[in-house]
């Protein structure tokens, strides 16, 4: 507030006319800007689940922060309103008093974005205290502006009730996530049994396939709660037959499950369909409509005469329309479909309505449905000429801030829509690995592929070749990704075919490199930056005078490639790591093998599964609000077949 007052005083000194304008319309301007932020959040808040754009993310984040900031400043200015006659406030003061409960209502964020990040849920107690204090502020402002002989007290009461209920819903949504994450209660287990019984009572012959997918996804999510780090993934009350899904529906079911998970973490959806949530939602809307109608009746002859009345009327219409818009969208969510699917509440004709809503919901975007791609052999990663003076200045600025390398990576990466064959490849290999690991934690990243393929009994694969494969699998994870990525590129250059395994290998290879370069926290490795910088330092001079085809052709040949000496001295992590020699050796081992694409694609899937399993739950929840990632879907598919509490290593007794 002090910084804001300082800026205001400077502006009023430089431009005296602006001071009068600020005194007359300053509060209204702040309320308008806060409402504009609310509109942005309402319309674009849900875009986070399927948009990967950094610009969209920043716009939503700025609107989320500024909305609360504008409300705080506006409430501060309302408390400083001068009242000449405290026992009988003037007309303008009473009109300004109407703005206070509307500001309180805007503190309750829209349905689509209750929390910007998971940390907001952890700060739910602080948020509750802030809302309580601001509600007291609003109450004091209304008492200050109260005149029992005017028509305004009716408006104050209804608008204050609407603001309290909307703010309470926001606090409820935040605290429900925070407290449920702390521990497992007996009530949670009982709720699982209730969900299972309701699913058994459902007449599935009347449900469309879309409706069944939503209910199955909800049951799996409600029982397994994958976003809880301390949750029992396989409680005894679960009926396994209800959890199993067909292979062709496994991936889309996981998509809907993650949509439920996103809603629980970042929106009000879970509580809006509770009886108390519905009562608060419709009561607050009726309060808004009543206040709007009362205002329209009382001031019907003064709309175009007094600008303050015109503004307040337009503001009430905007707030009411925004609330009505959210109510109109409410039946089209998966939570509404689940709530109306309760057999005890089913009505004649309800099946048709539910099937219609389910089909409409399944057409909505739930995540980006794309896979990030970054190629380590892309020349733009190493050599980029800045042609104009502005470009050269930008390069100098990025270099000073040590952001040039990161900027290059972001500049050349791109997203591709995930083809159906890649989803089938993932599900097929995950099922294969599930049989081998038998619900054990997913700690391998290539060995299970070699075990399942039975290469030791294949005459085409010699013992020396198997040693090369195992040696490049057993390296540290980041080094293994880089070596296999380069070897995959070489094989794609020399022996490309149109099979799903070959095309899937290319997508997964570039995706793992994308994770290594731009999402390193998903790989649970502390040396990713050091390893990648070393590999780039080796490749930069190697690619300087070679185009892509020539470079890959050189590496695929039998001649030994002299590894360039990097400009910077290697660390203890990379000092004895000969990148190009190891890449050549692995590519030569894979070259000419009949089933190499099956082996390569399976190893990439296993690496992705290992990364997904070892990545902390917190990072998976963070990726949901960034458009979603393939690694999170793989993680969820693995979690449904992992019993992490049955395979806890025994602690050695201390002496």
Among the ranges given (150-154, 189-193, 361-365, 505-509), the one the predictor scored with the smallest mean pLDDT? 189-193
Residue 237 has pLDDT above 60, yes or no: no
What per-residue confidence (pLDDT) applies to 229? Answer: 67
- What is the rounded average pLDDT of the residues 47-71? 91
What per-residue confidence (pLDDT) applies to 90? Answer: 66
Residue 292 has pLDDT above 80, yes or no: yes
| % pLDDT > 90, the chain | 42
- What is the rounded average pLDDT of the residues 149-162? 87
Q: Which residues contact 620 (CB under 8 A, 6 or more apart)?
A: 227, 631, 632, 635
CA separation, residue 649 to residues 441, 646, 652 (Å): 11, 9, 9
Residue 295 near residue 313 (C-beta atoms within 8 A): yes
Residue 469 has pLDDT above 60, yes or no: yes
What per-residue confidence (pLDDT) applies to 537? Answer: 87
Place of tokens 């009988």: 88
What φ, ψ does residue 416 adopt, rounded to 5°? -120, 145
Average pLDDT value for the chain: 83
What per-residue confidence (pLDDT) applies to 128? Answer: 83
pLDDT per position as a tens digit, 423-465: 999 999 999 999 898 888 899 999 999 888 877 777 678 889 8
Rounded CA separation 153/156 (Å): 5
Per the DSSP assignment, residues forming a β-bridge with 415 are 372
| % pLDDT > 70, the chain | 81
The ranges assigned to domains in the chain are 2-182+269-332, 186-266+334-362, 371-639
pLDDT-derived band at 654 (thresholds 50, 70, 90) equals: very low
What's the CA angle centered on 416, arms 640 and 512, to 5 degrees? 60
pLDDT-derived band at 194 (thresholds 50, 70, 90) equals: low
Per the DSSP assignment, residues forming a β-bridge with 414 are 373
What per-residue confidence (pLDDT) applies to 543? Answer: 86
DSSP string computed for 156-217: HHHHHHHHHHHHHHHHHHHHHHHHHTT---HHHHHHHHHHHHHHHHS-GGGS-HHHHHHHHH
Among the ranges given (44-53, 166-175, 198-207, 629-638), the one the predictor scored with the smallest mean pLDDT? 198-207
pLDDT-derived band at 373 (thresholds 50, 70, 90) equals: very high
Residue 7 has pLDDT above 90, yes or no: no
Among the ranges given (287-296, 541-550, 599-608), the one the predictor scored with the smallest mean pLDDT? 541-550
Q: Which residues contact 617 (CB under 8 A, 6 or more apart)?
A: 226, 227, 228, 229
Which is it for strands 414-417 and 370-373: parallel, antiparallel or unpaired? Answer: antiparallel
Among the ranges given (158-172, 360-374, 483-497, 640-654), the one the predictor scored with the smallest mean pLDDT? 640-654
Residue 483 has pLDDT above 90, yes or no: yes
Range ranked top by mean pLDDT from 68-72, 116-120, 318-322: 318-322
């Amino acid at each position: 507030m002090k910084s804001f007052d300082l800026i205001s005083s400077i502006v009023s000194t430089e431009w005296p006319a602006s001071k009068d304008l600020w005194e007359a319309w300053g509060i209204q301007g702040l309320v308008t800007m806060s409402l504009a932020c609310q509109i942005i959040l309402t319309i674009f808040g849900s875009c986070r689940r399927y948009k990967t754009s950094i610009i969209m993310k920043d716009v939503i984040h700025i609107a989320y922060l500024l909305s609360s900031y504008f409300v705080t400043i506006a409430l501060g200015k309302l408390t400083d309103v001068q009242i000449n006659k405290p026992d009988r406030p003037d007309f303008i003061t009473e009109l300004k008093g109407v703005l206070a409960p509307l500001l309180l209502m805007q503190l309750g964020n829209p349905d689509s974005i209750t929390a910007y990040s998971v940390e907001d849920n952890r700060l739910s107690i602080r948020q509750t205290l802030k809302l309580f204090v601001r509600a007291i502020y609003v109450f004091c402002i209304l008492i200050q502006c109260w005149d029992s002989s005017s028509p305004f007290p009716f408006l104050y009461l209804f608008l204050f009730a609407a603001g309290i209920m909307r703010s309470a819903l926001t606090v409820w949504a935040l605290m429900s996530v925070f407290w449920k994450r702390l521990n497992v209660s007996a009530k949670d287990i009982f709720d699982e049994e209730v969900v299972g019984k309701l699913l058994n009572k459902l007449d599935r012959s009347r449900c469309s396939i879309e409706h069944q997918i939503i209910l199955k996804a909800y049951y799996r999510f409600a029982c397994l709660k994958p976003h809880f780090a301390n949750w029992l993934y396989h409680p005894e009350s679960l009926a396994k037959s209800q959890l199993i899904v067909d292979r062709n529906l496994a991936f889309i079911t996981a998509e809907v499950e993650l949509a439920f998970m996103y809603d629980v973490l970042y929106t009000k959806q879970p509580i809006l369909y509770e009886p108390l949530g519905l009562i608060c939602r419709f009561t607050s809307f009726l309060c808004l409509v009543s206040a709007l109608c009362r205002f329209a009746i009382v001031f019907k002859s003064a709309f175009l005469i007094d600008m303050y009345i015109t503004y307040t009327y337009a503001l009430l219409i905007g707030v009411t329309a925004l609330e009505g818009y959210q109510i109109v969208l409410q039946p089209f969510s998966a939570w509404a479909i689940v709530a109306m699917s309760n057999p005890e509440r089913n009505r004649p004709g309800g099946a048709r309505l539910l099937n219609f809503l389910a089909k409409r919901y399944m057409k909505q975007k739930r995540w980006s449905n794309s896979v990030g791609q970054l190629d380590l052999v892309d020349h733009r990663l190493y050599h980029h000429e800045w042609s104009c003076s502005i470009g050269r200045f930008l390069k100098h600025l990025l270099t000073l801030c040590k952001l040039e390398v990161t900027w290059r990576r972001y500049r050349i990466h791109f997203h591709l829509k995930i083809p159906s064959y890649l989803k089938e490849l993932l599900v097929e290999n995950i099922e294969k690995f599930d049989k081998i690991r038998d619900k054990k934690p997913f700690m391998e990243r290539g060995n299970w592929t070699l075990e399942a393929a039975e290469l030791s009994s294949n005459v085409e694969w010699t013992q020396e070749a198997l040693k090369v494969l195992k040696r490049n699998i057993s390296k540290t994870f980041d080094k293994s990704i880089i070596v296999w990525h380069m070897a995959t590129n070489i094989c794609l250059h020399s022996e490309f075919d149109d099979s799903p395994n070959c095309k899937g290998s290319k997508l997964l290879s570039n995706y793992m490199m994308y994770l290594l370069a731009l999402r390193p926290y998903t790989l649970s490795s502390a040396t990713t930056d050091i390893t990648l910088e070393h590999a780039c330092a080796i490749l930069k001079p190697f690619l300087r005078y070679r185009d892509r085809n020539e470079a890959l052709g050189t590496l695929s040949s039998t001649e030994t490639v002299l590894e360039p000496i990097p400009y910077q001295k290697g660390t203890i992590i990379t000092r004895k790591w000969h990148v190009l020699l190891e890449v050549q050796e692995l590519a030569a081992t894979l070259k000419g093998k009949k089933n190499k694409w099956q082996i390569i694609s399976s190893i990439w899937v296993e690496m992705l599964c290992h990364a997904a399993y070892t990545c902390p739950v917190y990072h998976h929840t963070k990726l949901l609000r960034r458009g979603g990632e393939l690694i999170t879907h793989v993680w969820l598919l693995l979690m449904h077949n992992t019993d992490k509490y049955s395979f806890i290593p025994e602690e050695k007794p201390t002496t």
